Structure 1
């Protein structure tokens, strides 16, 4: 799996967030809270849903499944409407990303093992300290082996 290198302009994500770890995964609960709210969002840039992670700086160098990080369920938006009082806005800075087109069940650790243990060390790039995210488009279907998503890894 070879990524496409893309420059992302700054974006705004509107959604919900929670603190979690891989050992205490709260992704399902987060999305269950967010999905009913999507219909109310009028300034969404597309129908794509965004699953985003903000990791502490030492998360990958001192890895532990119990290390906490911030997880977001959201959509990219043009602006922020104050009527969305239950949702939060996150500004994502511009930067370079390695974008992997992945087909398979969501959450399969093998794809991330490949990205971080094989591709990244050989790529000539370094991991950047910006949000990581997945774009869940029309062909995303969670645990299906036919599910498709884009995995965006910040690089420099």
Structure 2
């Protein structure tokens, strides 16, 4: 699938939510009812909403894609308006996101599209993933939707997620470098002079014994689809 890696500022969203999971047999029904409730009961009360976009969020993950999470429907607002009965607030964190573009019938095709997104080999952060809908959505008409998947801090050379302080590289003055991992970058310099494809092949060799992929060709295809967006290779 095609996508781009973008950096977003935080957004404050007001709306309604429900707890569910991908394995729940009534997941789609719950989320559908959430949208209905939002437009019937909530949307008109949020006079301070910014613009016309509506947001479908997935947050408070219990166990990644395998556990429960909060589904949330709302619109962007400035700060925290005066409390209103039945309305919750949630923050979309600032950070890096993989941005996908969906065009189709959201009631029929969105679930299929999300399954394809889940199959991408992305270093997901599982903080807040969301859909951004422009005005004129639904009613069986093709709709354009931007889908954002939160990404962990990951090395802009090899793509390794960095979740612990010890995994970050270092600058020339010994301070932590937040762009690159310790295995690629130390003391202000890259440890290996290589091409992007050589780095991909090296990463595949490292991951071979960990069971992270079964089909090397497919894994390489997936990595080559997003490695060009990494800072080190984008600057080449």
User: What TM-score, normalized to structure 1?
Assistant: 0.81
- Is 1:136 aligned to residue 133 of structure 2? yes
Question: In 2, are the aligned partners of 1:106 and 1:142 still within 8 Å (CA)?
Answer: no
1:102-155 deviations in Å (ceiling 9; x for gaps): 0112253332232221xx32xxx40012111101112522644x2221111111
- CA change 1:24–1:115 in 2 (3 A) is same
The residue that corresponds to 1:112 in the other structure is 114
Q: 2:31 aligns with which of 27, 43, 46?
A: 27
Question: In 2, are the aligned partners of 1:13 and 1:74 still within 8 Å (CA)?
Answer: yes
Secondary structure class of the residue paired with 1:140 = coil
Task: State the number of aligned residues.
Answer: 145
Write out the 4+ residue segments of structure 1 that deviate beyond 3 Å after TM superposition. Answer: none
**Structure 2 counterparts to residues 60-71 of structure 1, below 5 A:** 60=65, 63=66, 67-71=67-71
Give the Cα separation in 1 of the matches to 2:148 and 2:131: 6
Secondary structure class of the residue paired with 2:26 = coil
**Structure 2 counterparts to residues 76-95 of structure 1, below 5 A:** 76-95=76-95
More helix by share: 2
More strand by share: 1
Give the Cα separation in 2 of the matches to 1:110 and 1:91: 26
Question: In 2, are the aligned partners of 1:43 and 1:79 still within 8 Å (CA)?
Answer: no
Secondary structure class of the residue paired with 1:32 = helix
**Structure 2 gap segments, 5+ residues each:** 153-236
User: What TM-score, normalized to structure 2?
Assistant: 0.56
Q: Which has the higher contact order (CA 8 A, sep 6+)?
A: 1
The residue that corresponds to 1:15 in the other structure is 15
Question: In 2, are the aligned partners of 1:49 and 1:136 still within 8 Å (CA)?
Answer: yes
Give the Cα separation in 1 of the matches to 2:130 and 2:56: 5
Structure showing greater radius of gyration is 2
Give the Cα separation in 2 of the matches to 1:99 and 1:136: 13
The structural deviation recorded for 1:93 is 1.6
Question: In 1, are the aligned partners of 2:101 and 2:147 still within 8 Å (CA)?
Answer: yes
Question: In 1, are the aligned partners of 2:15 and 2:75 still within 8 Å (CA)?
Answer: yes
Give the Cα separation in 1 of the matches to 2:52 and 2:92: 18
The structural deviation recorded for 1:97 is 0.7
The structural deviation recorded for 1:54 is 1.4
